[in-house]
Chains A and B, each alone.
Chain A
């Protein structure tokens, strides 16, 4: 089962709201990722968690705050976002932190008003 799940599917929020995106995988993978994808662009890496520890932060603004409560779960907390943050947010997981194949969840389509 190569399934990564994400909730919610869609999210509309105002610039003063606080919301969270959730990602879950039950493949026993030890690395999890957050990507941001704008229309007609490829996914861009935001964060990497390896064995539940943040290993890569691609200079993402602090209004995005990742959290890995356990090896199966990954959250992305959102606060004081800007309209330009509207995008598809994709979670992925891979067997380990190296250069393994990554499997993506269906994404959360975020609109910031």
Chain B
């Protein structure tokens, strides 16, 4: 079983839609969790860290559920520019492990 499981999608949504991504992790020792965004042929860029209390940054909301071992990312009012691959990741003793990535395409 992969350490971090993520639905690869693809997700195709119209502008303005709300879309949610989920990841599950198997390593209960994982300490910190993150969402990254990766555009085609570019490096991953940190989108946000994920906390049990939930955190929000504009249209993006991330949540961590340690009891069920999953993390989520909610994007509201999708923009064309949100089209990218979204990677969830968890760290354990300094080692960051990514999920497979979810491809999001936002269309007009």
Interface residues of A (CB under 8 A from B): 31, 33, 41-43, 45, 48, 50, 55-56, 88, 90, 97-107, 109
Contact = CB atoms under 8 A, between A and B. Distances in A.
Q: Bin chain B's interface residue count.
A: 20 to 34
**Which of B31, B91, B99 counts the most chain A CB atoms within 10 A?**
B91
A88 B95 CA distance: 19
Interface of B: 31-32, 34, 41-46, 49, 87, 91-101
Contact of A90 (B41, B43, B93): B43
Secondary structure dominating the interface of A? strand
A99 B31 contact: yes
Given A99-B31, A101-B34, A31 B94 contact: yes
Contact of B94 (A55, A101, A104): A55
